[in-house]
Chains A and B, each alone.
Chain A
Amino acid sequence: MKLYLYKNTSDRRKVGKDLTLVETLDNVLFKENTDILHPVFTFRKDSEENWKNFNYCMLQWGSMTKRYYFIKNIVVEPGGIISISCEVDVLETYKTYIRGLYTIVSRQEYICNKSIRDEQMIIPLNRVIDSVEFEDSVGDGGDGSIILTVSG
């Protein structure tokens, strides 16, 4: 297995993160029972510089099987031993399948139905009244007419 260490600058909710490879560790072995969703990787670093540059990693086994992880914590031990605690990033790991989903979208940035009431909007209490006057008056503006109605 290989462990790839990255610098991630994307929001954790992003599908398809912007990753910059920092370092690759070959021949990764599980020396003890490992929670595959919350693994802890321990390795030796001759230089302490690089451990500051990564916040994300990917574990690969086989030619294509990968799991991506957020690095939750880095513990630096004397002697150049570094332990990174990881949490699986399901969005990145299964991004291919996520993009293949066909399902109901309840909110979206671009494809939307604005005629549906939006409960998340914060509407101020003050309201505005606009008016528009019709061009012609009902009366003629003059004295009008006198109408006398008689029998016969």
Chain B
Amino acid sequence: MSLILALENGVGYTKSDFLNYQLYDSGVIYTQETDLIYLPTADGRCAVGSYYDGTSDIVYMVSDTPNVFDTAQTYFKLYWYADGTLTNEYEYYIQYSTSYEYDAYTYYVYVFTAQPLGAGVFQVTSRTINSDISVSTISTTDIIETLCAELSEATNPCIDIELYTQGSGTNTLYTFIWSNLQNIPANYTEEDFKIWIGSSDVSGDQGLLVGLTDYEKLKAQYSYGDLHDAMANTQIAVAEENGYFFTSATLLYVDENGDNVVCNTYCFKITTEGTVTSEETETGGDVTINENTSPKENDSYDGGDGSLTEQAEGQEMSVDNLLTTSYVLTEDELVDFGYYLWSNDLQSSIYGYQTSMIENILSCKRIPFDVPGTETTIKLGNIDTNKSASKSSSTHIKDVGSVTPTVYNNSWLAFEPATVISIYLPYIGIEKLQTNLIYYCENVNGLPTVKARTINVKYYFDIVYGSCVACVYTDGVMIASFNGSCGIDIPITASNRASNELSLIKQGANTTASTIGALTSGNVFGALGGFIQGNLEKTIEEKTADIHFTTSGGFSSQVASYLPGNVTLFIEHPNYTEPSTYKHDFGYPCNLSYNLSDLEGFTVLGHNIEIDEIPCLDEERDLLLNILTTGIYL
């Protein structure tokens, strides 16, 4: 073990050479402020102080435990240094021991005197315990009392205590919350400790008991009336005269004899207005007063609105002008080209590729928007027809704009199944969107508020096949995509026309089969299989509209061109008007834990709440539970 010495000028040394085996296993606590040595033993604690009485050093050790030392054998050595050089050694032998009563507690004093071992005397001047004590004025009692006080403060069990007040005046509720029990004596545990709360005088002397609570409960709650009624008659007189009274919380433990051992008292002054201040009677631990504050924080709505991460752009994979070429023609140019197909010039230019050169024509379609291109002439196979046209890209993107739907109900009615959102997409049909991706809840001042996301629609066209994909975005994130067909086939030959009609019939049959028996209509114009460009992904769904809008049968793209050309959002929602007194008569769903002192208005508590802390009769408790869970007005 190490022995740390604190000399009067505050310079400390350590020395691990300690001889007395009874103290051999002990640790050392050093407090430079008091120039004292604390030598805690396995069974207790003791403080050490010494002074030079003009003849020799006298060392006093004070312990809160009896029989710390075997007095016949006890001695110890102290090594004194100056500037790092050993100057002297002293052995200290025990002279006598006695008990000493201090602050209603029994301490045990051991007195040692020094026996110099070597030549030279190391003059130890008074080690200042406080500025008022010097060698000439130190008396045995004074130094012992000082040591007792030091030991008491350092080792007395104490707690941190918080007092919360809710309400005001005679309707104030006082909640005592304690924690951090320290300096538990040997052979005792937290289970032995209790908190006594009751009336007291300003010095903390106990009056009448209000409640005795086990430390482990960590909390006690009393009303103003409870504390007020605990006053003794003399205290009542003082309260009536001065407008305040005292309540104290006392930490005590029950010793092995069953007696209460008082450790620390925390006194509070309470006025007739219910306010409270702390009086300085405690000797350890922290005291905190929180007026008009609840011990627990109210819940708040922290449900997020989710976060839609913006997706990376898709990658366009073009097949333009590889083995086929697309040309943009005006009507006149197409007619002129048609004349050429049937002219003798083409027949005489056949180079033997096909039995009919016309079979080099893969498709001819009208699409509903202008396509830019580069002026050129049409090359049919390897034959330059010298007919004018424009060479074009096979892809086209149209952003039809954005809308932010109105929030018609700032409540659960804004979400499915109460509110249903559908979208009409030209060349595709009417599709359903997931409402919860469009309406969401945002935390506004701690309460959820319904908001709407901005909806954007983009069309991606493949002009070669006449197909399109409409992608629906909310706040930049694609939530749905739907396939359609916008290209109107222009028959070139008889076989081409037959092929087109067959395709239409199949579309119609397929579409009809998907709608009969189900009040739904799907992709009105049939899906061509969706020529998807790049990496467009269907992130959420590709559903058909249901319930509200019905169509049946298949349409040609030409017919579809007569239908409305703008995307339209349909929001079907309840026609609900909230009665003006609804919230006062019924309230709204809450589902948060709250301090009732922070609430007002109609309030319904949860069914399985605990009200054990209310000091009521059993029948009253049933009444309370029934009323609190059916609704009260705060």
Contacts and interface: CB of A to CB of B under 8 A. Distances in A.
Contact of B574 (A10, A66, A127): A127
Given A15-B632, A113-B448, A128 B573 contact: yes
B413 A123 contact: yes
Interface string A105-121: 11111111111111011
A99 B634 contact: yes
Interface in B291-334: 294-296, 301, 303, 323-331, 333-334
A96 B228 CA distance: 14
Interface residues of B, number: 138
A147 B596 contact: no
B369 A97 contact: no
Contact of B403 (A100, A109, A117, A134): A134
A45 to B, nearest CB: 29
Contact of B589 (A64, A116, A138): A116
A137 interface: yes
Contacts of B570: 129-131
A123 to B, nearest CB: 5
Interface in B466-516: 466, 486-487, 490
A152 B360 contact: yes
B248 interface: no
B575 A126 contact: yes
Interface stretch (B8-16, B134-142, B168-176): B168-176
A138 B369 CA distance: 8
A90 B333 CA distance: 94
A135 B565 CA distance: 10
12 contacts: A64-B223, A104-B605, A106-B607, A107-B604, A138-B486, A138-B566, A138-B567, A145-B371, A145-B463, A147-B367, A147-B371, A150-B362
* Interface of B, helix, strand, loop or mixed by DSSP: mixed
A60 B144 CA distance: 54
A78 B366 CA distance: 105
B590 A113 contact: yes
Contacts, number: 375
Interface of B: 166-167, 170-173, 175, 221, 223-226, 228-229, 236, 294-296, 301, 303, 323-331, 333-334, 337, 360-371, 378-382, 389, 392, 398-403, 405-406, 408, 410-413, 415, 418, 425-427, 441, 447-448, 450, 457, 459, 463-464, 466, 486-487, 490, 548, 561, 565-576, 578, 583-584, 586-597, 599-607, 609-611, 613-617, 619-620, 623-624, 627-629, 631-634
A133 interface: yes
A114 to B, nearest CB: 4
Given A134-B568, A138-B398, A118 B599 contact: no
B334 to A, nearest CB: 5
Interface in A35-60: 36-37
A111 B600 CA distance: 9
A91 interface: yes
Contacts of B629: 106
A29 interface: no
A1 B84 CA distance: 80
